[in-house]
Amino acid sequence: MYFYNCLFKEVCKGKNNNLWRSFFFLLTGDCSIDVILPYVLITPTKHYIGIYKSNKDVTLETQEIIDMLKSYCPELAELISVSNIINGKPTFDVINLLEVITTKVKALYLNKIAAGNATQIPNSYNPPKYGRAYYFSDSGNQLRTPRIFTCDDGSTTNFDDKPSDACQKSFNQQVSKKGITYLFLWFCPLHGHCYGFHIIPGSEGRKDPASSLYCYMEEAPKTVFYDFACSLSEYTQNRESGFYNNTRFFHDIFHGYSHKCSSAFKSNRLNGFKGFNTSICEQFNSFLQCIKASSRLMTQEHFTFYTQFFISIWNESKHRSFKNKLHIALAGNK
């Protein structure tokens, strides 16, 4: 932090001081440094720094690194871009900042443990028995079992513990009512497709999304929208950094306003996310209202069957909707 303070006082004297202020404000937020510059960009960034220090022409490489950073950290991309325009190429203080950040991010993953091999576990697909059904693969079988760490005290539960983060979600009323079962579901925010669910005893936390993705997906998704993304990001990097090292976590727009954490978790600051429906879960909850009353009297077996049935109807409706849009688009091109 001492380096940042000294560098901040020096560079803020320049013409692009507002850009430095916005970036250093981002650094002061409550998030890991790899949220700002993800691990996936470490190799190309280090390559770029090496070419720059060799006093070669970096015109092409500068534009490439700017284009890559726009999708991850537009504040840093703009800082490099403006410095490049004003000085002909990025100044050394910008390159020095990049080098420090890449070093810090690389250090986070020195002891990362690779994810377990994605091998289908026989007889693990039994929705009525286990109360879960995910279809990231054709079989629906579980691919991994969650690892047990010493801090777990031998507990094998996938449900959540109480987070210790400063950023807490606050509500005017109690979210989880006692004696009521809840569903945790995964959706594609672009197409609305539902990939399945598992039953949870209360409101969702951090273990629910982290464990379900780790257990049922061969590779972690590149982008995850979640109402508690700040805490989920920390949780996944502490437990399975080898699996989630290329995943970005963002708050959905609906819940993002109630958070006090870093603005790095706000997806609306990035390009390319306008077509994403981050409130798809709330829309599906409304869709399930038709079975809400009757499901209270069902056994888990019947409830699981009903949930799978209505998910199939939901997915089919989304499929038809996009198919109709495709026909209209193709007809307009003729």
The pair of three-digit structure tokens given for residue 27, joined into one six-digit string:
């650094």
Domain ranges of the chain: 2-108, 127-158+178-332
Read off the tokens for 329: 């688009």
Q: Closest by alpha carbon to 206, among 169, 185, 233, 174?
A: 233
Could you give the residue ranges of the DSSP H alpha helices within the chain?
2-11, 17-27, 33-36, 42-53, 59-70, 74-87, 92-108, 127-130, 207-216, 229-244, 253-256, 280-287, 292-295, 300-332
pLDDT at 173: 40
Strand partners, 134: 196
Q: Rounded to two decimals, what is the model's pTM?
A: 0.82
Contact call for residues 31 and 262 (beta carbons, < 8 A)? yes
Q: Are 230 and 169 in contact (CB under 8 A)?
A: no
Mean pLDDT by 10 residues, the chain (334 residues): 42 60 80 87 93 91 92 88 88 91 89 82 92 92 87 56 53 48 89 93 84 94 88 88 89 68 80 77 84 84 92 93 86 71
Other CB atoms within 10 A of residue 49 CB:
18
Q: What is the DSSP letter of 10?
A: H
Instruction: Give the H/E segment covering residue 200.
Output: strand 194-200
Taking alpha carbons only, the member of 153, 152, 159 closest to residue 132 is: 159
Helices (H), 28-150: 33-36, 42-53, 59-70, 74-87, 92-108, 127-130
Q: Residue 262: its pLDDT value, please?
A: 80
